[in-house]
Chain A
């Protein structure tokens, strides 16, 4: 009983967090996963029945496998997000480098940064 209460509190906390997730698809998925977790915490024998149905020995194993898969998806998602961020940082760093080069050594009369020149903030 003690474990069930502690797990329920943790999952309820996560439910609040999941509800506030920015992407609606992620929010729905997280809420669904949390609800399923709550259900299996109180009905462990049902998870064992479900596990046997799909050919896994125990309900705990089933949950463990699902958890590993979900973690991998989360890691992949984070990795792709980091790459997208790196691309933005690259664009930013490039613009700074080109602006510095234009300021330090105006080696020709032509203005550097053609793409920025239309933008009043960069004049």
Chain B
């Protein structure tokens, strides 16, 4: 087991000023290193994150969550992270789940530990959102062949080796499927662990809709047309 100072928690943030300070503070208090990737926010997200003690990497303009995660991973790898965790900025994840995922990596000799709200709990998850997530999971299972239960969960832990095998090229939300196709392609071992994803009014307002799902499918399709 590595020390918590070698665990880097990557938090992509776009206009998360109202909540980022609290989220960073909680993760810092648990003893982890925090990297906030400010994805071109206009509301002082970077300042809030910095004040809360995170290392902040700022995109010069908005590129999308997938791009922000890759930037955070690159930063953490350069800082000799042993374990890299991705964590949502909107406060829907529990800090206590981080250690559960990190421990799963070592207990199971896996390179990826993926959080699943369907193995765990998702309080206040609206029925429509749940149906959308289920459909997305079925789609990803079909296209990647991985038998995962929750493909669109922002909470994941990976070893250094696992992180190095990830190269996200879907800048926008289609990165969720890309994670799994690259995990499948890497041939490295992955496990799933139950986590709690708590839906608040704030996180719901920022979440994905059916319209976004159509855009995601178009993104994934377009990606297959070249190279």
Where the two chains meet, the residues of A that have a C-beta atom closer than 8 Å to any C-beta of B are 76, 79-80, 83-84, 86-87, 90, 93-94, 96-98, 100-101, 105, 107-108, 110-115
Contact = CB atoms under 8 A, between A and B. Distances in A.
Given A80-B226, A83-B222, A90-B171, A114 B57 contact: no
A105 B56 contact: yes
B77 A94 contact: no
A72 to B, nearest CB: 13
B63 A80 contact: no
Q: Which 5 residue pairs spanning A and B have beta carbons closest together?
A: A101-B57, A112-B78, A94-B71, A107-B55, A80-B226
Q: Which of B50, B74, B225 has the most CB of A within 10 A?
A: B74
Contacts of B74: 94, 98, 115
B226 A94 contact: no
Contacts of A93: 59-61, 63, 67
Given A98-B57, A107-B55, 13 more contacts: A93-B61, A94-B59, A94-B74, A97-B58, A98-B74, A100-B57, A100-B58, A101-B55, A107-B79, A110-B80, A112-B75, A112-B79, A114-B77
A90 B67 contact: yes
B169 interface: yes
A98 B60 contact: no
A80 B225 contact: yes
Contacts of B86: none
A100 B71 CA distance: 12
Interface string B31-61: 0000001000000000000100001111111
